[in-house]
Amino acid sequence: MSTYRRQGCPNLLFPSMIGRQMPAGEEIMAKVLTGDAIEALRRDGFHFPIHGVSEVDAADYRLQLETFENENGGALKGSHRFKSHLLFKWLADLVRAPHILDAVEDLIGPNIMCWNTHWFIKEANSASFVSWHQDNNYWGLDTEDLVSVWVALSPATIESGCMRMLPGSHLNPILPHVDTNAEHNMLTRGQTIDVDIDENLAVDVELKTGDAALFAYQIAHASYPNQSDDRRIAVALRYIPPTAKQMLADWDSAALVRGEDTHGNFEHEPLPTCDLDPVAVAFHTRAEEQQRQILYKDTEWADARVSTSGARAPY
Ligand code: NI
């Protein structure tokens, strides 16, 4: 194993934003993000907190989630933990919320697709953790412009196992990863960066209920077990510009949530009219299988259906 070192690199985060810069010396015409926030995203690869949802809405969404869980055999199953904006009307609305899209637009421009939504739920006092990894090593999307908006529906604290991020790691080439399939690892393959991470460099992304964090596709991140007495509940919204392409499969889908689709690289997902709208659920079933094939590509688990019943989802 080699030791991770922060490297300077000429790559620019969120290249689409560059075209939005005003002539030298003038401010970027951002809708909601401050210049400092945009600089932090480019320099560090993440920025927090921003407003995600109100505390009232966070409580309501949690109630809806937990009501669904209670009626469906307990904790949200793997197959329900991704592309969930096709299953839950409130989440379909949240991924289209103007204040969230304004922040995303500041980073990737006015044409925005929601490619995925991922739940990260750690039960109270549970061993679940996320190993150090970079999302762009696994999702097959050919873009530097994927933006994650990670919304806390319960407090994300050091005790509850908040995300940890390695500032500037998005500027490096992809680091080597290995599949560990480790028990309690929430990631599909237990994928782990195969270099030593200096934990002293990492930043704890602590968030109050309703707050959100923005971060880059390439950022190295991890989280530790929840040692609190409450569930740690978060949902991550994944946005891309229509220029993105899926490189690991012939077919992929996304919801056009703002502007226009200038490239046609993704089949457009339907907007559910209610929770478990049959049309959207049928679409989710197709997308679920495809996501599994992408995430398990080149592994012995490619044909396993572990995500339909187990705790793991294709992250
Ligand atoms: Ni991740």
298-313 confidence digits (pLDDT tens): 665 555 544 433 445 5
Q: 143 C-alpha vs ligand 1 centroid, how far in Å?
A: 16
Q: 259 C-alpha vs ligand 1 centroid, how far in Å?
A: 27
- Residue spans of the domains in the chain: they are 28-295
Q: 132 C-alpha vs ligand 1 centroid, how far in Å?
A: 8
Q: 117 C-alpha vs ligand 1 centroid, how far in Å?
A: 12
Query: Does pLDDT of 77 surpass 70?
Result: yes
Average pLDDT across the chain, whole number? 87
Q: 300 C-alpha vs ligand 1 centroid, how far in Å?
A: 21
Alpha-carbon distances of 88 from 108, 117, 272, rounded to whole Å: 26, 11, 8
Residue-wise pLDDT for 88-121, tens only, equals 999 999 999 999 999 999 999 999 999 999 999 9
Q: 135 C-alpha vs ligand 1 centroid, how far in Å?
A: 5
| Mean pLDDT in residue range 57-71 | 96
Q: 21 C-alpha vs ligand 1 centroid, how far in Å?
A: 29
Q: 216 C-alpha vs ligand 1 centroid, how far in Å?
A: 10
Q: 155 C-alpha vs ligand 1 centroid, how far in Å?
A: 19
Q: 25 C-alpha vs ligand 1 centroid, how far in Å?
A: 35
Q: 23 C-alpha vs ligand 1 centroid, how far in Å?
A: 35
Residue-wise pLDDT for 217-228, tens only, equals 999 999 999 999
Residue-wise pLDDT for 127-174, tens only, equals 999 999 999 988 999 999 999 999 999 999 999 999 999 999 999 888
Residue-wise pLDDT for 246-294, tens only, equals 998 889 999 999 999 999 999 999 999 999 999 999 999 999 888 887 8
* Confidence (pLDDT) at 302: 52
Q: 22 C-alpha vs ligand 1 centroid, how far in Å?
A: 32
Q: 26 C-alpha vs ligand 1 centroid, how far in Å?
A: 34
* Confidence (pLDDT) at 29: 67
Q: 174 C-alpha vs ligand 1 centroid, how far in Å?
A: 13
CATH class of 28-295: mainly beta
Weakest mean pLDDT among 8-22, 57-71, 225-239, 285-299: 8-22
